Amino acid sequence: MIRDTTLGSKLWAAAIWFLVGFFVINLFAMIATVVTSSFATRWLGTWLPVAFTTRWYSSAWSEFQLWDILMVTFQVIAAVVIISGTLGITAAYALARRDFPGKRLLVLLFLLPLLIPPITFGIPLATVLYQTGLAGTFWGVVAANLVPTVPFVILVMIPFIEQIDPKIEAAARVFGASTFKLFIHVLLPLLLPGMLAALLLVLVRTIAMFELTFLVAGPTSTTLVVALYYAVFAAGVRAVQSIDAMAVIYMVTTLVWLIIALRFVNPTQIVTRAKQQPAH
C-alpha cells in the first residue's frame, strides 16, 4: 500500500499502465475487427468497409446450419451442467464432510483433469470412445466434456460446503428432519449460491471447450466452437464475412452467459477456481 511519489516510480507506473492499455486496446480491436467484418459488404485494403449489411448473418445461418448446431450445443451444455452438477455436488459434499483414508488420493485424482491440458488426455479418451462406438454421438461429446467439469464442480463446491456449519444440519436433525427434508429445506437453500456459481462457470467453460469436443464429435454432434474451427480451417470456401458472422454469433452466445455468470462470481474465479471463494 506504499505509494512512492518519486519520478522513477511514476515512470515505472506509466510504463505498466502503457502495457495494460496496449493489451486491452489490441484485444478490443481484435474483437471489433470480427464484428465490423461480419457487417461488411466488401472490405479490402481500407480502414473501414465500403458499406454495411446484415445479410451475412442470414447466409451464415443457412450455410452452416447454425440452428442445428446451436440446438446440439445447448443440449450438450444442458446435459453437461446437469450431470456434472449431480455427480460433482454429491462428491463434494462427501469430501467436505468426511475424512477417510485415501481422501487425498481421491482429491488428487479429481485435480488432475484440471491441471492436464485437455488435448493430452483427450486423445486416449477419444481412442477409447471410438472403440466403444460412443465417439461421434451426442453422449460421446457429453462424456468427454464431463471429464474436466465434474472435478471442476467438486473443487469449487468443497470450500463452499466446508464453510456451512455442520451444526446447522445437526440442529435440523434434532428438530426431526428426515434426510430428504434436510436436503430440501436446509442444505439446498444454503448451497444454492455456490451451486449457481459452479454451474454457470461449467456452462461458460463448456461453450468454449474446443479440444475435447473436436476430438470426439461427429457430423451430428458438432458444437458451435468446433463448427467455427472447421469454418476457419476451410477459409476460402465461404466468404470471410460469413465466417465472421458465425464468430459473432458464437461470441454473443458466450458473452451472454459470461455476463450472467459474472453477477454471481468474481472474474478471477474463472481462472483460479476454488482459490477465491468468497466467504459468506
100 binds another protein (CB under 8 A): yes
Question: Phi and psi at residue 52, in whole multiples of 5°?
Answer: -115, 150
Least Å distance, CB 151 to another protein, is 7
Least Å distance, CB 128 to another protein, is 4
Nearer to another protein, 175 or 230 (CB): 230
51 binds another protein (CB under 8 A): no
Residues 6 or more apart in contact with residue 196 via CB below 8 angstroms = 264
Query: SS3 for 237?
Result: coil
**Cα-Cα-Cα-Cα dihedral of 47, 50, 54, 55, to 10°?**
-130
* Contacting another protein within 174-233 (CB under 8 A): 204, 208-211, 214-215, 225, 228-229, 232-233
Nearest to residue 153, comparing CAs of 194, 97, 100? 194
56 binds another protein (CB under 8 A): no
Least Å distance, CB 175 to another protein, is 19
Out of 71, 78, 237, 255, the only residue in the binding site for another protein (CB under 8 A) is 255
Q: Are 110 and 155 in contact (CB under 8 A)?
A: yes
Least Å distance, CB 70 to another protein, is 16
Question: Phi and psi at residue 146, in whole multiples of 5°?
Answer: -70, -25
Kindly indicate which of the ranges 8-16, 64-72, 157-165, 184-192 contains the residues binding another protein, using the contact rule CB under 8 A.
8-16
